[in-house]
Structure 1
Amino acid sequence: MGQQKTTVIGVEVEETQEKVDKKSPKIVKEFKKKTINVEVEKAVKKTEKKKKSAETISRKRTKFPRSKKYIATKEDIAKQIKSADLNSILTYLAKNVAKYETVELVINLTQKKGQDPVRKMVNLPAGLVKTPKIAICDDELLSRLEKNIIDFDILIASPKMMPKLAKFAKILGPKGLMPNPKSGTVAEKPEEAKKELMSGNIEIKQDKTNIIHLPVGKIDWGVEKISKNIEAVIKEIPTNRVVSIFISSSQYPSFKLK
């Protein structure tokens, strides 16, 4: 009985050769093959385990130390807001935050295997924070896309124009600009669809991290208007998919809504 080392994909495999009749080369070959395959499988599994471990570490969020001002603000919030209801949070922001600041709604969602991401149109009764630039697909717009000119926030197209837009899917898709029936941007009457979007309709959709970010008002709008927009959005999200809801402004800590 002897030993022999063989290198396979960077892994040294130690082969143990049994006493085999020299007249039986097939048995020797099969034995070598089985031994090498077992060692290779072990090496591959070990490599995959290391990759998964590295991916898990990379997903962990890095926590940075908070400033003294941030900590003091959090303490002040805890003293003044006894109940984390919508009205109390918005009233506090109205008193303490600059009027020009935007209020944003953040919804964390669950995403189970086989579930479709949340994506739908919602009407904000108090209006949009920013009026989007809406374009209707025609031959002139297609010629601008040929030159990689994208000067719109929303693109509406009729079903007849969709085949012509297909070749630009690689450009428009990653930017979230490709017309889609679910978002109301594929319509038989594009002009009417444009009016609806301008009147306060907005598409909400979860991102790759299963979060919906949506601006819902300006501080100077007042508590009532912002509250109406927030309630309109929350109403459209399936309750069994909601993990947590936060309200935030650009210069203030976020508030967890009950």
Structure 2
Amino acid sequence: MFYWLLKHLVAGPIARRLFPTVVEGEKNIPDKGAVILASNHLSVIDSFLLPLVIKRRVNFLAKSEYFTGKGIKGALTRLFFTSTGMIPMDRSGGKASESSLRTGLEVLERKGCLGIYPEGTRSPDARLYRGRTGIARMVLEAETNVLVVPVVMVDTEKIMPIGAKRPKIGTQIGIKIGEPIDFSRYRGMHTNRFILRSVTDEIMSEIANMSEQVYADVYASKLRKAIPSS
């Protein structure tokens, strides 16, 4: 109930007024069943905007640092992220990352809607980068059939450019939602690294076809030392 009130009566209307948003293809998101929204990632604000403009509740995997802040500010940030469906994700690798993957699988096995950025981090220069295979592993390992819906955020980097401390109010953005992709033919093949790469590349190809971004066939994380990532 708190989530519904926050989304429909408070945050949603405010977000649309502050950042005029044109949404294309929302009907492509199934009303029920396990779904992954696989989106490009241009701005830290993407995780707030996408869940606020679509009907289904979306659980996004958000970096764990958002949930560990100190003091009143940290507590309010933690409350906001939790109440809007964000799930902490540890990106340090090893057992921590495995635990995050399991959390995502739990959402899917409840037939929920999970938001994922296959690139693994925010684009440092508005290009589209190579996808990480974690998304494919979730799709193929889940005990229920999972549809993947490609999503493209348009111009959201103009709201909060890297290094900016405040969003640019009034920036018009777009969200394009593509048709669902069914990978059921590969179910149970999550240990095959070639299949994982093939599925991931197909998802990224769909995102690239919907987007006007230049594609770079390298991992965005390789640029972290030069430009901070989200």
The normalised TM-score by structure 2 is: 0.26
Larger strand proportion of the pair: 1
Q: Which has the larger radius of gyration?
A: 1
TM-score, reference length from structure 1: 0.24
